[in-house]
Structure 1
Amino acid sequence: MSIDEEGGIIAEWRIAAFALEIDVDPEGGFSYTVRRDGIRLRGGRSQTPLRKMIRDVSAVVALANPNWRSLFQHASARTAR
């Protein structure tokens, strides 16, 4: 994640040959782009396909590394000790 020159936020995830980029402008509007090997496959400004895309990306990550969550310690796990 990073802040762009206009004060918006850019979030990008890369999984194997795929990339999902979400751009949020300072007013809260957003757009997303999906690329494979650097070639744009799809994109838009609607929440419904974006939500599906995030589910699809999550499924690809789970297949590639089913234990990825173990890389991150959740705050709830830290406070439960």
Structure 2
Amino acid sequence: MNAHKVAATLTEDGKLLLTGLPFQAGDTIEIILLEQPKERNSSQANLAQLEHPLQGTVLRYEDPFEPAMPVEEWEI
């Protein structure tokens, strides 16, 4: 089975025209349509990600001032 992915935007309600597909007349194909979520402008999304790359990655800090290693292991 060969797969071919095409992104298209509907120009009229309920109508879609696909051209340039790599299939021949008489070929039987299966069509699955998946709606893509509407996204923000890609440049705005990239800028927001660059400004706050860790946003949403940490849920909470248990003890942010706790030493990284036990006090007993410190050398004085």
Tell me if TM exceeds 0.5. Answer: no
Max Rg structure: 2
Between Structure 1 and Structure 2, the one with more helix by share is 1
Q: Which has the higher contact order (CA 8 A, sep 6+)?
A: 1
When normalised by structure 2's length, the TM-score is 0.19
When normalised by structure 1's length, the TM-score is 0.19
